[in-house]
Structure 1
């Protein structure tokens, strides 16, 4: 028996239409309510172009007769409350448009959805999960992430590892498999390709239908909560890829939701995203702002996520179909509003922009006229470095500036250095296979590339499989080539990746002030002829520094002189040419004593051996008197319950 009681409040409705209802999932969607010792299930939907709306599902044999929603206001909110507990039931909205067309739509605010190819929403309660991550949340609240190491392992859950029958691992199974693996490698965060519900596997989640629904491919919302809870208990942050720019056009989704272009632009030229075959969100519409900002806060509140990487920001700040770059003021204003609200709710959240443009002040606060993110992917660095690496070593001297240009702007924003999934698909080759030369040279240059990345200012992101030395591109329908670890060179690149990440986390010069010019200093920036780059990384503490020497050719040098800023002894703490990493063994085993001979504009200099296609990392040795009373450096990526913080 249907009831028209339990209406939404006028205040909620007002805020939703004003664009400031940031918990709009409490106004709309399906909610289970207990009132006067009776259990009700309320369904509410925004459909202003509808002449009638019915709720249909397995609880009424998909027959909407007698289940019509009541129209709350002229702006098109409809609601019905049923005197039943319908938890677990399938449902959709049967929308009759003003033109008489009948549409069957999934709930935009559903918390759970049927496994594809089925498309119904599922009544689901998010309550009842017992979180056990208070130590992580407390720890995070006391940290300054700009001064901490951040190394991100980017993962597509459906193809990281698969079962023998080709099926997906569940969220809970992935917690047991993926978390220990990422901890062993030494990353601080896991970034998940979009887990919002989406109909097509090969979209990787970037073309979604359920912005409040964790995809059912891997289990229930509570299962996903379990995965994040286990990450936090082990000291791993979780970042979600999130797509507020566009959505898929499948019939059951947001597209032409009530027969009108409700969530997207009314103008076809602005609405249609021909690159992805999707529809662009109308970011200037108040109700869409309530929808999207509520989605972001929803994942923070109910799933305890630690951050978002916003996909294709250029598609939001510029009109996508205009000739040339025409600024979308609505898109920029939306991002400022989003970031302001998110940081008011939780100032520890990482808001990361995937932006390939030169839009200024992306990571400046909104009150300083910035977009308000706290990080931006350094796409320019990524493109320049990969272009340089794909060039033969003999020709690299001609494009030397590709490796140095990024330092002209490296401190204009807070950057993440990304080698993401986008760089290892669609014919672009894997990171290893991008490297020119023979088998040995490919591995040597991959080690060199990763070492240069760790030395360059900026937080780090690497896509799954790099550590295996994948020769093949990422294949989203198959698991990673785990069998590669049976082969010597692949096993050694895995060991190198672990040691490199360990070095990164243990070395304050590599992260403590890497967003400031004070943390970086060139030694020799102009040696194009030999394609050798040398530089210094520094922490806040005086004399706490690392020296990087990177050789991008196959030539070996002995007694190679470089200038250094400090007097004293230098010890090589990592060399990518170590035999244990698969190298030729051109290393510097002895302590290198700086002489008072000025070189490279520095007051002192040292001589060392330079390996082929190698990176050498030197640390200024602290003697006992200097070390006395100093606190030992701590490993940032503590594992709660496994390691004791010093």
Structure 2
């Protein structure tokens, strides 16, 4: 949205608009899966040009939103992860990390993403700064202080300084910088780090300012529905934490309890709100390996996370099995850290890429999965009920029935949908085998340990 005070669009800007092949914002905010990446690790080059060159791979995977982990100039190098630093310690909000390339390189990345029908969001870290951020000297009054000393963020975060979000000058400054970034680079939104530690009313003001420039997608590092007053999407901090427990023997009723009480009920009044589903993310990278968390059920839990109401997330290298070269040997899902010598092994010996491609392309193609709201979700009762998990999602003539065995034991699963779930009887195509299959109430499915079935009516892959 332009105002009379805005400059006329340049010829280059007009060309970029013509090359933008995306669906309208109201469509892609629901339809597109999200991928988070470290610029430093995603490619051999470790820069914007490296990401740009691999955008077609992400498009083929089924990704529509590319989330760049922080790309600011990094500070606090003598406090953490020396000599490379931690990107969540921002030295200057005004500047890109020059190691990743120039401003023109970043613009080219965004432009190419748009031409491929993809959107780009940037990880922004407004809650705190590096200790060598220029604001420490220029505006110490913008920080939380005790006895005249600027305070660190609590807990294990002594390497960053806590900003004071009751200060309205700070709010005005941060909003102005973020609006300027959107104007200059034309990317499509932000993931807000530590949002759960900040006031929601600020983000309501921020969103209004950003949307005066263009529609933006905002992701909060928070899990409470109240954040949807300003944000399109929050983290799944309800179901995601119990998935690993279920892999280690806890009953699937733990999933039901979290889903029903913490999401389906509260979100009934917020039909346009989104929850980010995942089995891994950058905060957990290094805390656990996928195999330790999900045992041999890595794929089964990925199916579950991708098909539940919300939007699926894939983390940097997860589509290749999350194998990491530590400088000596390749290991499974160890910490990428911030050392550029630590690299992702993209060889994918276990065939995760075609698996994720089928899931993500289905999500994009089938309206039952990416429609607004969670109201379509219907749990399907099963016998036995302790470790199989089944549900159906519908939208018009599109339907997806998911049945997963979340245990190490083979099981014969009897589908016993209650009347409230509606009829499942009909002909489907199973996503992974591509075989046409008849489903009906009372049917028995023989599932091997950690087995999964995804039965589809309607499209299975997007254009």
For the superposition of Structure 1 and Structure 2, which TM-score range results when normalised by the shorter chain?
0.7 to 0.9
How far residue 510 of structure 1 moved from its aligned partner, in angstroms, is: 0.8
Report the equivalent of 1:74: none
**Structure 1: tracts of 5 or more residues without a match:** 1-25, 27-126, 163-167, 317-330, 365-371, 437-441, 579-587, 595-603, 623-631, 639-646
Q: Distance in 1 between matches of 2:36 and 2:21?
A: 25
What is aligned with 1:175?
52
For CA contacts below 8 A with separation 6 or more, give which structure has more relative contact order. Answer: 2
Task: Give the drift of 1:403.
Answer: 5.1
Q: 1:340 aligns with which of 190, 208, 222?
A: 208
1:422 pairs with 2:422: no
Q: How big is the shift at 1:314?
A: 2.1
Inter-partner Cα distance in structure 2 for 1:449 and 1:295:
39
The Cα offsets for residues 582-613 of structure 1, whole Å up to 9 and x where unpaired, read as: xxxxxx9452253xxxxxxxxx4433332320
1:578-589 residue pairs with structure 2 within 5 A?
A: 589=435
The match for 2:394 among 517, 521, 538 is: 538
Asked whether the equivalents of residues 558 and 608 of structure 1 are also in contact (C-alpha less than 8 Å), the reply is yes
Distance 1:374 1:267 in 2: 35
**SS of structure 1 residue aligned to 2:234:** strand
Shift of 1:528: 4.2
Contact 2:142 2:164 in 1 (8 A): yes
Stretch of structure 1 that moved more, 181-190 or 238-247: 181-190
Structure 2: stretches of 5+ with no match in the other structure: 1-5, 268-272, 323-331
Q: Which residue is 2:437 aligned to?
A: 591
Alignment pair present for 1:245 and 2:127: yes
**CA displacement at 1:218 relative to structure 2:** 1.5
Asked whether the 8 Å contact 1:212–1:298 carries over to 2, the reply is no
CA distance in structure 1 between the partners assigned to 2:51 and 2:72 by the alignment: 17
CA 1:618 to 1:484, structure 2 compared with 1: closer, same or farther past 3 Å? Answer: same
Bigger Cα displacement from structure 2, 293-302 vs 274-283: 274-283
Contact 2:383/2:414 (<8 A) preserved: no
Q: How many residue pairs get matched? A: 424
| Partner of residue 385 from structure 1, selected from 225, 229, 243 | 243
Q: Which residue of 2 aligns with 1:194?
A: 70
| Distance of aligned partners of 1:593 and 1:244 in 2 relative to their CA distance in 1, 3 Å threshold | closer
2: CA distance, partners of 1:219 / 1:407: 45
Residues 241 and 593 of structure 1: is their aligned pair in 2 closer, same or farther, counting only changes over 3 Å?
closer
Describe how 1:484-633 pairs up with structure 2 within 5 A.
484-485=347-348, 487=349, 490=350, 492-513=351-372, 515-517=373-375, 519-524=376-381, 527-529=384-386, 531-539=387-395, 541=396, 543-558=397-412, 560-563=414-417, 565-566=422-423, 568-575=425-432, 589=435, 591-594=437-440, 604-620=441-457
> Could you say which residue in structure 2 is the equivalent of 1:325?
none
SS at match of 1:209: strand
Q: Distance in 2 between matches of 1:223 and 1:612?
A: 47
Q: Please give the secondary structure, in 2, of the residue aligned with 1:616.
A: strand
Q: Tell me the distance in 1 between the aligned counterparts of 2:11 and 2:437.
A: 59
Deviations 1:65-94 (A, max 9, x none): xxxxxxxxxxxxxxxxxxxxxxxxxxxxxx
- CA offset at residue 185 of structure 1? 1.5
Q: Superposed, which structure 2 residues align to 1:143-158 within 5 Å?
A: 143-145=26-28, 148-158=30-40
Give, in angstroms, the shift of residue 374 of structure 1.
Answer: 1.8
Q: Distance in 2 between matches of 1:571 and 1:520?
A: 18
Whose helix proportion is higher, 1 or 2? 2
Looking at structure 2, the residues matched to 353 and 593 of structure 1 have their Cα atoms a distance apart, in angstroms, of: 39
Residues 463 and 132 of structure 1: is their aligned pair in 2 closer, same or farther, counting only changes over 3 Å? farther
Q: CA deviation at 1:247?
A: 0.3
Of structures 1 and 2, the larger Rg is shown by 1
- Distance change in 2, residues 1:387/1:422 (3 Å): farther
**Any idea what the Cα deviations from partners look like across 1:77-117, whole Å, max 9, x if unmatched?**
xxxxxxxxxxxxxxxxxxxxxxxxxxxxxxxxxxxxxxxxx
1:241: Cα distance to partner? 0.7
Q: Which residue pairs with 1:46 in the alignment? A: none
Please point out which of 353, 358, 366 is paired with 2:220.
353
Question: Structure 1-normalised TM-score?
Answer: 0.60
Contact 1:592 1:608 in 2 (8 A): no
State the Cα distance separating 1:404 from its structure 2 match: 4.2
Among 236, 253, 263, the residue aligned to 2:142: 263
The secondary structure found in structure 2 opposite 1:345 is: coil
Q: Are the counterparts in 2 of residues 161 and 479 from structure 1 also a CA contact under 8 Å?
A: no
Instruction: Name the counterpart of 1:376.
Output: 234
Please, which of 405, 416, 419 is the counterpart of residue 258 of structure 2? 405
Q: What's 1:103 paired with?
A: none
Q: 1:410, 1:556 → 2: CA distance? A: 30
